[in-house]
Amino acid sequence: MRLGVLDVGSNTVHLLVVDAHPGARPLPAYSHKAELRLAELLDADGAISDAGVARLITTVREAGEVAEDKGVEDVLPFATSAIREATNSEEVLRRVAEETGVALQVLSGEDEARLTFLAARRWFGWSAGRLLLLDIGGGSLEIAYGLDEEPDAAASLPLGAGRLTSGALPGDPPGTDDVRALRRRVRADIAKVVSDFTRFGAPDHVVGTSKTFRQLARITGAARSSDGLYVQRELERKKVEEWVPKLAGMTAQQRAALPGVSEGRSRQLLAGALVAEAAMDLFGVDALEICPWALREGVILRRLDHLPAP
């Protein structure tokens, strides 16, 4: 069957169309993205602005039309931290449903971590042993750890690259004091949850998902995305530590000229690098492997798990 997953995230609205069947891996058929940056459309009270809601409605409606054109039988629509934490989230969800017919399911941060962990587990398989998962989104950092498909521990922290950039790094390039203050804050927040995971023992394999980790891996020498999903890509902590001061001294335009860095994400890359560096350091990770599957694939896999056997 042809499924669509509509991901309303802090940075983008992404419709992923896949051909999927129980017991088989989902095969991507089409991808439709629109940069919305909801995390940057909040007013002083933490509400998504009227202009932001209008843009969201238009974008969701367009994604629904694309899904119909592509023959999607079932769309799985969900929203993450930008809508989850907006002070007017209920009103936003109501307006989207009334004007587009799409009822967005708001995932909790822990749900995000668990579904992303499921995707990573399915990708790497049982032989990977105990997995530690790190995922840096636009609005939050998800962490999960476990041996099975359901993690033993999962957490979500408000340390997304977009959120931190708009709230803590106003300059272009940002000021040295701002970078130092954000580094302290990020490390303090991650340190609060480290023991929740390390008490289970050292992981056998550490994986990173999300655009931030993929971009960091690319600028530190990993293979290009055009080389395919099955090329192994790693990110070393030592290389991230070398790149943080370089990124801090660059403008967004200069970062956009780096390999694998899109113009729309270039401003966020420094904040994402600070989170990646801190998480890898505090969890004692020397290197992690990039996982091409993440939250959207986890949502699809969970849906397939609940389909009746043919």
Work out the mean pLDDT of the chain and round it to a whole number: 94
Per-residue pLDDT of 108-119, as tens digits, reads: 999 999 999 999
Q: What is the domain extent for residue 46? A: 2-106
From 146, 278, 268, 282, select the one nearest 210 (Cα to Cα): 268
Alpha-carbon gap, residue 13 to 90, rounded angstroms: 18
Asked whether residue 270 falls in the same domain as residue 122, the answer is yes
Domain count within the chain: 2
Per-residue pLDDT of 162-175, as tens digits, reads: 999 988 999 999 99
Give residue 308's pLDDT: 66
| pLDDT mean over 73-89 | 93
CATH code at position 6: 3.30.420.40
Per-residue pLDDT of 36-52, as tens digits, reads: 888 777 777 889 989 89
Which stretches does DSSP call E strand in 94-184?
A: 105-106, 131-136, 141-146, 153-157
Per-residue pLDDT of 236-253, as tens digits, reads: 999 999 999 999 999 999
Domain end marker among 106, 122, 144 = 106
Asked whether residue 199 falls in the same domain as residue 287, the answer is yes
Domain end marker among 74, 106, 138 = 106
Check: pTM over 0.75? Answer yes or no. Answer: yes
Give residue 276's pLDDT: 98
- The reply to whether 302 falls in a domain is no
Two tokens, residue 135: 């995922």
How are beta strands 141-146 and 153-157 bridged, if at all?
antiparallel
Give residue 310's pLDDT: 58
From 21, 20, 34, select the one nearest 66 (Cα to Cα): 34
Per-residue pLDDT of 245-301, as tens digits, reads: 999 999 999 999 999 998 888 999 999 999 999 999 999 999 999 999 999 999 999
Give residue 38's pLDDT: 81
Give residue 10's pLDDT: 83
Alpha-carbon gap, residue 288 to 284, rounded angstroms: 11
Domain end marker among 75, 106, 137 = 106
Give residue 229's pLDDT: 87
Per-residue pLDDT of 180-206, as tens digits, reads: 999 999 999 999 999 999 999 999 999
Over pLDDT 90: what percentage of the chain?
82
Which stretches does DSSP call E strand in 177-307?
A: 205-209, 234-236, 287-290
Asked whether residue 55 falls in the same domain as residue 116, the answer is no
Asked whether residue 123 falls in the same domain as residue 60, the answer is no
pLDDT band with cut points at 50, 70 and 90 for residue 22: confident
- The reply to whether 8 falls in a domain is yes
